[in-house]
Structure 1
Amino acid sequence: MMPVIGEAEVLMRQATRERLQKFAQLRGKTVQPRTFWDIVIITAVDKKQEIAYQQQLSEKLKRKELPLGVHYHVFVDPPGPKIGNGGSTLHVLQCLEEHYGDKWDSFTVILIHSGGYSQRLPNASALGKIFTALPFGDPVYQMLDLKLTMYIDFPTYMSPGILITCADDIELYNIGATEFIRFDQPGFTALAHPSSLTTGTTHGVFVLEPSSHLTEKGELEYRTCHHFLHKPSIERMCQSGAVCERSNYLASSGGPENSLVISKYVYTDSLFYIDNTTAKLLLAFYKQMGTLCCEIDAYGDFLQALGPGATQSYTKSIENATKEESGLVEIREKIFELLKGLPLNVILLNNSKFYHIGTTCEYLFHFTSDSKLKLEMGLMPNVFSICPNNVEDLGKSACIIHSILGSRCSVAPGSIVEYSRLGPEVSVGPNSIISGCYIDTKADIPPNTFITTLSIRIDGELMYVSMVFGTEDNLKKKVTNLADAHLLNFLGISLGQCLELWGLSISDKLFSGDKTCLGLWTVRIFPICSTLSDSVKMSLGILNSVQQKLPFKLNGCKLLSVEEMLRHKDVEDMLKFRQQLYEEISLHKVKKKSDL
């Protein structure tokens, strides 16, 4: 059933299409000064990730998928403890100074935080969330393209400074035809989106200063923030004055009278901008600190220090911290002292949507089942792919991206196949993700299955490993000792039961990495194989053994954990496989066009 589309949604859809068309015209062209970003920065968590990002950037530039005449950089976090996106922001400022000297603060810069191993969306773990494929575009758009598209008008109306955003969210918005989003104020300036109170509990929420305007709200408003709440409870939002109300008159089914409905909402965060003076202040602080020993959150730890209502109380709260670390409170206190008194300007986008695609469930829902997003962005079920018969046979809510499927291959609704080659006797069950796979034999992939294949290189030898999970498995769950390893669940059952089926036992050797931090991310259960197709067969064997409770012995195989797979990944070979698909699909399209 198609959703009911109101005027606001229609306008947002039109605005999105216009931005997509504008960016499409810039792909492969040299941009003029002040019409696009001077510098585009992607962050990486380690050297391996930096190399992977550099290679993909080079490929995109070679294929003319990005605007030219722009400085593209991948800046890697310093070795040592994780420093979070806040620490990464500080480190980027130092990298900019090292690269550009005194000139760095005269540029318009977009900084996209892309570091991390994507444990909640593991098909992006090897090559990065910022290079996640999207179901539209020719060639296929990736998150990097979409980010640059959605912010395409920002540099023209932006004072020198840095726009800071993340790699796994999508902001869609419409503003008046004569209005522009301006980032030209000192301090911090953030975009804000109307959201439900429930959404506010997992985001940053703005408590706005009272407005002097009594007129009706427009699509774009410039306001100031009294203070910022980081992932607050609904009770705290209400107590802090963050909750807004809007009135709507709905037609009554019983007669001509309309009924008044009052809905409550809050304004939540997405991206923010810092001017060059503030950037210099943060850089001086980073230099004074020397090295960071804990994770800093760019949103929670920077924005909570801003505005006249900010207090130091948040610095001691570890409720929303990634983990409790020594030194975190001290660093937060120093950041608060540094930034207190600085303004937090807020740009309210009253006709906007914020989508997060950082988990397998969000990724599947938004790209297959979310009919509103499909309409707003023009998402397609078959993108740059060779598919059997016609798309209807695959199911309208399936999604095939940059893949080649055999003549009788079937993909059930709610599933995504990307960067893969599937044979004619492959069927993919509902709500599954198949990524980077080559399946050339008969295979029935059950519902809620996640499979992705990585090329790895150990001691110079190229090999392949496929990881398989349930789409709802929690790869971030940890236990602190071997005795509790049975509490981990794999494909919906106890890991201990699975190990018995595979002829494995719980021991130190079963896990890689820190032995006091054990989870599905570090358990060694995935066999190394000599070919892409054999690798998938082995993982399907693991999957079937668990589902049918049948033995599938792994004790004679050399096994890796996901953590080890990423450590040994061969990015060049994975990109080579994608390039082979690209060339074959391109040839097919040319032939098909000539046959018409």
Structure 2
Amino acid sequence: MPAAGSERSAARREATARRLARFAALRGKAARPGDFWDVVAVTAADAEQALAYRQQLAQKLGRRELPRGVRYHVFADPPGPKIGNGGSTLHVLRCLEDLYGDKWTSFLVLLIHSGGYSQRLPNASALGKIFTALPFGDPIYQMLELKLAMYIDFPSHMKPGILITCSDDIELYSTEVTETITFDKPGFTALAHPSDLTVGTTHGVFVLDPSSFSGKGGLEYASCHHFLHKPDVETMRQCGAVCMRRSSSRLSTSGDHNDSETDLECVYTDSIFYMDHNTAKQLLTFYKQTGTLCCEIDAYGDFLQALGPGATEDYTKNTSNVTREESQLVEVRQKLYSLLRGTMLNVIVLNNSKFYHIGTTQEYLFHFTSDSKLNFELGLLPVAFSIFSNKAETLDQSASIIQSVLEPGCFIGPGSIIEYSRIGPEVSVGKRCIISGSYINFKVDIPSDCLLSSLSIKIKGQIKYVSMVFSVKDDLKKSVQLLSDISSLKFLGVSLLECLDLWGIKVSDQLFSSENTRLGLWTARIFPVCSTLSESVRTSLKMLNSVKRMSAFKLNSFSLLSVEEMLTYKDVEGMLKFRKQIYDEIYLQRQKEKSDL
């Protein structure tokens, strides 16, 4: 147990292990009605992403990795402007009614939002964050299985309705034996986790009635006065969201933990929430009346802020947390506020819980390689369902190898993650790297803090390969509107203009693939297309090393794609075939090892 491990941490570990065991026993078997979800719905950004998700779901079902007797659906957002996870929620309700008529209102529905392009965790961009591999399980778990396992107790204590979650967070929690998490009240019911105030600034925060909870025990049912969305610390204090807790019972979603006997401030932050079918039908009626949405609606900020007796419509005009302000946004928010005003927001306070977000490269690396608490409570493995020879030069205990083949002689640096890859004997991987879907069969030193993710693509019927390389610190969401401003973009910490010069790429209107003036690393046509996976990796690493050494490596002879275009041309079948080859090789070796015993 880690130094910060305590009775609470041990309780979370035990509760997590029990849920994982329950789910493992259900994989490939038919779930009994009422004991599991009637519908598991995953959202996708567009038809291409939806197709990729459906292919992966079909593969999982074929391998008996998911419970049977469940309606698994992938619903793509409608074409046109982005509608946010709130808009996606409304669209899914419409899709369920179209598919099942009135029958859908009797279903237990798990709705998982996974419609983003994962710009902050690009190794998950091609196949989706909900299919992110985790360093445990045999065969390995992905985020989808973990979600189903962690929520496995909910359906049997839930009235028909919708439970809404996102694809890039993990909630671990423990309750007393006599306590049950029950979703049976009208309106909305949300889970709440004790967190540092700094965490509250990037999450939703509940302003709880202090007379309705004590902050002790495993869980408490509290009443919520109103909900704050990504508030600053001053707002939390003014609204009465800040509570005092003994540090011995304090849990922090930031990864910090202090067991000294002092009073510390905390707030209660959001994660997943439930709405009953009457509320869902109200929202569906609103969606039908509104017609086409032309703005991004947030399921947390725009639904939950309208709830509770203390809610006011002030937030409807506050666009400080909005990426892009559309003219329709304020009007839609005001209509939602009028619709939902007076609806109850019930809160289940999980006093012994931890919330982990893994939506960025830094969070992903930290939680899966350095976070001793998550490692302990979830049972993470340094080598998960992989072939790893003890003759390998070094494998630091903080490294994480997931469904990969490592040949004798390779070196994997501390804090690095290797997933779905083949690593040859003369490969040295630096610290804090992410290597995904790659085949490296040549001598190379991969520098620290490098992200390398390879894709199979199909252009005009031909299969090709392209590998993206970045620093794990690069900001792929940053963009400018004018070509004259691209000097502010950084690749590996170096001005993109300098990099283009090293690669022999001219600045022109053809440099970026975006048609809506989003000029950034995501849309820059800088990655070479190659005929083999190995050559793709070799070429992109030469490109990266040219920047590291400030030496020229000309890309004039290559066709070049942006990450945006790579995802458009992605060959899902090819990538899944490569993963299956690795899976089969590992599985056969496992069988051989068993027969030799």
Shorter-chain TM range is over 0.9
In the superposition, relative to structure 1, how do residues 226 and 249 fare at CA in structure 2: closer, same or farther (>3 Å)?
closer
The 10-residue stretch of structure 1 (217-226 or 305-314) with the greater mean CA deviation from structure 2: 217-226
The 10-residue stretch of structure 1 (216-225 or 132-141) with the greater mean CA deviation from structure 2: 216-225
Q: How far 1:322 sits from its partner (Å)?
A: 2.1
Aligned 8 A contact 2:157 2:184 in 1: yes
In structure 2, what is the Cα distance between the partners aligned to 1:322 and 1:105? 34
Q: How far 1:111 sits from its partner (Å)?
A: 0.1
Aligned 8 A contact 1:420 1:434 in 2: yes
Aligned 8 A contact 2:392 2:407 in 1: no
Aligned 8 A contact 1:381 1:391 in 2: no
1:63-82 map, 5 Å = 63-82=63-82
Q: How far 1:424 sits from its partner (Å)?
A: 0.8
In structure 1, what is the Cα distance between the partners aligned to 2:141 and 2:84? 27
What residue identity is the alignment partner of 1:181? I
What residue identity is the alignment partner of 2:292? T
Tell me the TM-score normalised to structure 2 length: 0.97
What residue identity is the alignment partner of 2:28? G
What residue identity is the alignment partner of 2:182? R
Aligned 8 A contact 1:227 1:308 in 2: yes
1:167 corresponding residue in structure 2: 167
In structure 2, what is the Cα distance between the partners aligned to 1:121 and 1:557? 26
What residue identity is the alignment partner of 2:11? L
Q: How far 1:506 sits from its partner (Å)?
A: 1.4
In the superposition, relative to structure 1, how do residues 370 and 247 fare at CA in structure 2: closer, same or farther (>3 Å)?
closer
2:40 corresponding residue in structure 1: 40
1:229 corresponding residue in structure 2: 228
1:13-52 map, 5 Å = 13-52=13-52
In the superposition, relative to structure 1, how do residues 183 and 584 fare at CA in structure 2: closer, same or farther (>3 Å)?
same
Q: Secondary structure at the match of 2:542?
A: helix
2:191 corresponding residue in structure 1: 191
In structure 2, what is the Cα distance between the partners aligned to 1:580 and 1:117? 26
Aligned 8 A contact 2:244 2:263 in 1: yes
In structure 1, what is the Cα distance between the partners aligned to 2:339 and 2:300? 15
In structure 1, what is the Cα distance between the partners aligned to 2:219 and 2:2? 29
Q: How far 1:304 sits from its partner (Å)?
A: 0.3
1:475 corresponding residue in structure 2: 476
Q: How far 1:505 sits from its partner (Å)?
A: 1.9
1:559-574 map, 5 Å = 559-574=560-575
In the superposition, relative to structure 1, how do residues 248 and 486 fare at CA in structure 2: closer, same or farther (>3 Å)?
closer
Q: Secondary structure at the match of 1:37?
A: coil
Q: Secondary structure at the match of 1:189?
A: strand
1:255 corresponding residue in structure 2: none
Q: How far 1:445 sits from its partner (Å)?
A: 0.4
**CA-to-partner distance for each residue in 1:261-292, whole Å, 9 max, x for gaps?**
21000000000000000000000000000110
**CA-to-partner distance for each residue in 1:288-318, whole Å, 9 max, x for gaps?**
0011001000000000000000000000011
What residue identity is the alignment partner of 2:72? Y
2:400 corresponding residue in structure 1: 399
In structure 2, what is the Cα distance between the partners aligned to 1:259 and 1:353? 19
The 10-residue stretch of structure 1 (390-399 or 427-436) with the greater mean CA deviation from structure 2: 390-399
Aligned 8 A contact 1:295 1:322 in 2: no
Q: How far 1:409 sits from its partner (Å)?
A: 1.0
What residue identity is the alignment partner of 2:332? I
1:509-520 map, 5 Å = 509-514=510-515, 516-520=517-521
1:415 corresponding residue in structure 2: 416
Q: How far 1:486 sits from its partner (Å)?
A: 1.2
Superposed CA RMSD: 1.5
Aligned 8 A contact 2:505 2:555 in 1: yes
**CA-to-partner distance for each residue in 1:505-529, whole Å, 9 max, x for gaps?**
2111110012521000000000100
1:80-119 map, 5 Å = 80-119=80-119
Q: Does 1:381 align with 2:386?
A: no
Q: How far 1:580 sits from its partner (Å)?
A: 0.5
Aligned 8 A contact 1:452 1:467 in 2: yes
2:156 corresponding residue in structure 1: 156
Q: Secondary structure at the match of 1:576?
A: helix
**CA-to-partner distance for each residue in 1:351-408, whole Å, 9 max, x for gaps?**
0000000000000000001111100000000001001217893110000000001111
Aligned 8 A contact 1:3 1:372 in 2: no
In structure 2, what is the Cα distance between the partners aligned to 1:212 and 1:328? 34
Aligned 8 A contact 2:393 2:408 in 1: no
Q: How far 1:323 sits from its partner (Å)?
A: 1.2
Q: How far 1:14 sits from its partner (Å)?
A: 0.4
In structure 2, what is the Cα distance between the partners aligned to 1:497 and 1:260? 54
Q: How far 1:324 sits from its partner (Å)?
A: 1.2
Q: How far 1:248 sits from its partner (Å)?
A: 5.2
State percent identity of aligned pairs: 66
1:544 corresponding residue in structure 2: 545
Aligned 8 A contact 2:453 2:469 in 1: yes
In structure 1, what is the Cα distance between the partners aligned to 2:80 and 2:149? 34
In structure 1, what is the Cα distance between the partners aligned to 2:212 and 2:417? 49
The 10-residue stretch of structure 1 (148-157 or 504-513) with the greater mean CA deviation from structure 2: 504-513
Q: Secondary structure at the match of 1:292?
A: coil
In the superposition, relative to structure 1, how do residues 394 and 418 fare at CA in structure 2: closer, same or farther (>3 Å)?
same
In structure 2, what is the Cα distance between the partners aligned to 1:487 and 1:426? 33
In structure 2, what is the Cα distance between the partners aligned to 1:572 and 1:322? 34
The 10-residue stretch of structure 1 (204-213 or 49-58) with the greater mean CA deviation from structure 2: 204-213
1:239 corresponding residue in structure 2: 238
What residue identity is the alignment partner of 2:216? K
1:323-338 map, 5 Å = 323-338=324-339
Q: Does 1:321 align with 2:322?
A: yes
**CA-to-partner distance for each residue in 1:428-481, whole Å, 9 max, x for gaps?**
100000000011111110100000011111110000000000000000001110
Structure 2 portions without partners, runs of 5+: 250-258
In structure 2, what is the Cα distance between the partners aligned to 1:472 and 1:410? 22
In the superposition, relative to structure 1, how do residues 152 and 275 fare at CA in structure 2: closer, same or farther (>3 Å)?
same
1:143 corresponding residue in structure 2: 143
Q: How far 1:259 sits from its partner (Å)?
A: 8.8
Q: Secondary structure at the match of 2:119?
A: coil
Q: Secondary structure at the match of 2:4?
A: coil
**CA-to-partner distance for each residue in 1:230-282, whole Å, 9 max, x for gaps?**
000011101100000023589xxxxxxx9962100000000000000000000
In structure 2, what is the Cα distance between the partners aligned to 1:248 and 1:432? 35
**CA-to-partner distance for each residue in 1:526-556, whole Å, 9 max, x for gaps?**
0100000000011001111000011000122
**CA-to-partner distance for each residue in 1:65-107, whole Å, 9 max, x for gaps?**
0001111000110000000000000000000001111100001
In the superposition, relative to structure 1, how do residues 259 and 365 fare at CA in structure 2: closer, same or farther (>3 Å)?
closer
In structure 2, what is the Cα distance between the partners aligned to 1:105 and 1:318? 34
Aligned 8 A contact 2:392 2:411 in 1: no
**CA-to-partner distance for each residue in 1:94-142, whole Å, 9 max, x for gaps?**
0000111110000100000000100000000000000000000001000
Aligned 8 A contact 1:108 1:159 in 2: yes
2:255 corresponding residue in structure 1: none
2:10 corresponding residue in structure 1: 10
In structure 1, what is the Cα distance between the partners aligned to 2:50 and 2:339? 31
2:491 corresponding residue in structure 1: 490
1:290 corresponding residue in structure 2: 291
Structure 1 portions without partners, runs of 5+: 251-257
In structure 2, what is the Cα distance between the partners aligned to 1:391 and 1:360? 26
Tell me the TM-score normalised to structure 1 length: 0.97
Aligned 8 A contact 2:512 2:525 in 1: yes
